[in-house]
Structure 1
Amino acid sequence: MLKKIFSLTAAALLLFACTDDEWPAQPDWSQIPNPDEEVDDGLLKPAACTNNIVAHRGGATECKAPDNSLASLRYAIGQGCYGSECDIYWTKDDNVVVAHADGQCRINGMHPWEHTLAELRAGGGLSNGEQLPSLEDFLGEVMKEGCPTRLWLDIKNITYPSTLTEYAINAARRSCEIATEMGAKHFVEFICTGNTTVMKSAFAYAGAAGIPIG
């Protein structure tokens, strides 16, 4: 699984500059370095990990914590998991909320792209008393000395009330900005499936930031 995740470099900036009609069929792989080669960029890195396990939503089902909660993330970290998958949406005030929306793409009865993070949080907390976490909250948990766990950010496609690619692309863009601002790029990997337009843009944003995407 991990062999399928490629560490992308500035070569992806060339892709990002393309219009929708100019996207190449695939990137120039010759310009992308071997992801197994260590690069010392001075940023904090996850501790060595001896397994390839990625906990779905932090292993919430197993640990009986709410999906996408800090409690479930801490459980995944405590188990020494390589990664902890979580679901992300962009909010109206340019934040990234970590949550799994319902079948109509709503969180606490609201479409996240139409509301601020504060408004979404005011709509209700998690069943264990936590407030809805932000990406910064999640990064703060994994960016600790000795933590082996990365966040696998699942960029959720928006299909209701219609297919809205702009907001999923914004989730990718803002997540890359946050990871860069926090010096957290070694603690973030992206999952992006189901919509070619979103995948292309996420690929470019992640590549420009040097963040893996699978």
Structure 2
Amino acid sequence: MTFVNQRQQMVAEQLETRHIDDPRVLDAMAAVPREQFVQLAQQQSAYNDSALPLEHHQTISQPYTVAFMAQALRLKSEDVVLEIGTGSGYGAAVLSRLAKRVDTIERIPELASQARERLKQLGYSNVRVFVGDGTSGLPEHAPYDAICVTAAGQTLPPAYAAQLKPGGRILIPLVNWSDAQTMTLFTKTGTELKKRELGSFRFVPLIGAYAVSPADR
């Protein structure tokens, strides 16, 4: 089976059957060649219903998780998005097909460099890759319509709300008292954030100056 056929099967069997029904998200997932974003030894597993390992003890999320987050953000074609945790660049590639521009920040320089080159070679010209502490966001390029965090934090870093436009959305997995991770959507209304929990997921830890609660710093 070709990678194109595997991709179509992934959309039909892993996404549509699990309530991913936004046509734009499904089209994006069907278009982005996931096999180009995994390690060479993992290419035959690129469309498995699972996360896969990357260098530096990082992971590329399972296709369903990427699609779920993209759908939950309710992106419009004119939106500008900040992604925290570039990894291989796969998530940014998916988001780039839904938004006007994606700024993505990665704390590991080697991963950022690889992702930048990969995205360039594949023609994702509306993605900019930065290196830095993702918990600080990118204040020099804010505000953003949406912020997508691909690692689990103990608390919501304050920079995100400050860098979000009115009506904007933040999606982040948060660790609760039992160490479970809950996907959490914040919507900015005026100066307040409305919170909605969307279910349990599993991510690598969010690392940075503001990844933990103030009492723990």
Give me the TM-score of the superposition, normalised by structure 1: 0.29
Give the number of the structure with larger relative contact order, counting CA–CA contacts within 8 Å between residues 6 or more apart. 1
Name whichever structure is richer in strand by fraction.
Answer: 2
Could you state the TM-score of these two structures normalised by the residue count of structure 2?
0.29
